[in-house]
Amino acid sequence: MFGRKVIYSSETEINRDNLIKVLEEVYPIHQQNSRDIDYLYNYYRGNQPILNREKKVRPEINNRVVENHALEIVNFKKGYVFGEPIQYVRRGDGEDVSEKINQLNEYMLAADKATNDNELAEWFYIGGTGYRMVLPGENKEIPFEIDTLDPRYTFVVYNNGFGRKPLMGVKYIQTEDNELLFSIYTRFEYFEVKSSEKGWVVVEQSPHALGDIPIIEYPANISRLGSFEVVLGLLNAINDVTSNRMDGIEQFVQAFMKFVNCEIDEETFLKFKELGAIKIKGEPGNPADVDIVSSELDQSQTQITKDDLYQMVLIICGMPDRNGANRTTGDTGQAVILRDGWSAAESRARDSELIFKKSEKRFLRMVLRITKDLVNLDLNLSDIDIKFTRNRTDNLLVKTQGLQNQLEAGIHPQIAIGNVGLYSDPEQVYLDSLPYLEKWKYAEATVTPGNNKPNPDGDAID
């Protein structure tokens, strides 16, 4: 598998006349994507190829051990990027805008958006893409409803021209009659199509006032690769090594017995196993012996191989090394972050954020259209910035010293605050801190030589 295929059509608009034609063209592509996602989803749940392993030599000893690192990879990335709720913050300095954005965040909280984000992230880290749907709500308390769709039964068709704009969003279910029922949204119309052995039939058509397609695709990356898809071979090899190690231990414990120059029948052998001792008789020049046929697996070399495979998985997936804390080195601070892979994890997270934000803006356009119509919440997309929150307090002393040094050197506070990496929303921190920054600047200017501290009131301290 090499990622999911993007579904394109040469049509510029979908209507009743060309709907069936386009569906027949694109549905086989979606089916292949669906099969790939289903395989990756089952792999993530622990249904991995090692469970079907066959062993030709001593088949009675056939351990099938699953080390589910796919689950580990997905959970780490999901928790690292989406562990804290995504926040919408103000762009610019309008106070009335801040109040409206706070109201928007309250609606998102009421609609359980953080939970939906978490579920959406799980899907696109598993299968390379995820889908979200938003529709008007039934009351003003929650003016919109959010749902995370199963990507195995959802797809979006894009125009293959400039901008690759979405043409229609499709989700479907299988009915009790073994027929497929498709719910299809274009910018201004909703269709229901039923597929059976007799063919495709449009069973319902109606206009909608959303002005856009309410099904939004959230790809994990441009290639739509799952987070562990690129290391499937390494993960299978780790399972093989672990299973073979268990086989080696069991084969050593259950080793065959070797009888040299002596004969023993089954009854005698069973008595020997029960009593734990046996009597044999040799002949001159032809000694008899009983021994165990065994060859113990070199566990240390096997562990080296397994560790190397796991390290490659961490490097390729951009994950930190969990064993870094066990190393006895003199590294501290930023050196530890670079050595143990946390900087790589952060760079991958920022890359995911950029891809996510592109789809999130489409989602926000839909939400802002709905809230404007239903609750008169008038906001523009340009008023809102999307912020991800992570722990930024590592090397706190170094960062605060760096901020202070930049301010004292005359660097613009807006640049300095954004440069140190202390805040998830440096723009808002700068705007909120302007009164204090101006006061600090004025106090700094009144310090006379020999003084240790500026006077907050503007007078030099004796």
| pLDDT value, residue 154 | 96
Sequence-ordered list of residues with C-beta below 8 angstroms from that of 9, at least 6 positions apart, any chain: 22, 25, 26, 157, 158, 159, 160, 167
Q: What is the percent of the chain where pLDDT is above 90?
A: 43
Give the C-alpha separation, 14 to 167, whole Å: 6
Structure tokens at 179: 């027929």
Structure tokens at 52: 């079907």
Greater confidence (157 vs 445) lies with 157
Give the highest mean pLDDT range of 192-201, 212-221, 342-351.
Answer: 212-221
Residue matched to tokens 């992570």: 390
Q: Is the pLDDT of residue 259 over 90?
A: no
Give the C-alpha separation, 424 to 348, whole Å: 17
Kindly report the length of the chain: 462
| pLDDT value, residue 454 | 47
Give the C-alpha separation, 272 to 290, whole Å: 12
Q: Is the pLDDT of residue 458 over 50?
A: no
Structure tokens at 98: 């801040």
Q: Is the pLDDT of residue 289 over 70?
A: no
Give the C-alpha separation, 216 to 192, whole Å: 18
Axis crossing angle, helix 396-408 with helix 426-445, rounded to the nearest 10? 50
74: which DSSP letter? Answer: H
Contact call for residues 241 and 302 (beta carbons, < 8 A): yes
Compute the average pLDDT of residues 279-295: 66
Structure tokens at 356: 């996510």
Q: Is the pLDDT of residue 453 over 90?
A: no
Coil vs helix vs strand at 333? coil
Q: Is the pLDDT of residue 36 over 80?
A: yes
Compute the average pLDDT of residues 249-272: 68
Q: Is the pLDDT of residue 427 over 90?
A: no
Q: Is the pLDDT of residue 277 over 80?
A: no
| pLDDT value, residue 462 | 40
Q: Is the pLDDT of residue 459 over 80?
A: no
Inter-CA distances, 369 with 121, 144, 185, 373, 442, Å: 25, 10, 16, 6, 45
Beta strands 384-387 and 87-90: pairing type?
A: antiparallel
Taking residue 41's Cβ as centre, other Cβ atoms within 10 Å add up to 19
pLDDT tens digits, one per residue of 149-193 = 999 999 999 999 898 999 999 999 988 888 899 999 999 999 999
Confidence category of residue 100, pLDDT binned at 50, 70, 90: confident
| pLDDT value, residue 93 | 66
Give the C-alpha separation, 67 to 236, whole Å: 9
Q: What is the percent of the chain where pLDDT is above 70?
A: 80
Compute the average pLDDT of residues 227-244: 93
Axis crossing angle, helix 113-127 with helix 95-110, rounded to the nearest 10? 70
Residue matched to tokens 């523009």: 380
| pLDDT value, residue 392 | 63
pTM confidence score? 0.79
pLDDT tens digits, one per residue of 319-378 = 888 665 455 555 555 555 555 678 788 888 888 899 999 999 999 999 999 999 888 888
| pLDDT value, residue 447 | 52
| pLDDT value, residue 18 | 92
Structure tokens at 126: 């598993």
Q: 121-135, 369-383, 413-427: which has the minimum mean pLDDT?
A: 413-427
Torsion of CA 44, 47, 48, 54, to 10 degrees: 170
> How far does Cα 236 stand from its chain's mean position?
20
| pLDDT value, residue 124 | 94
Contact call for residues 5 and 159 (beta carbons, < 8 A): no
pLDDT tens digits, one per residue of 107-124 = 998 999 999 999 999 999
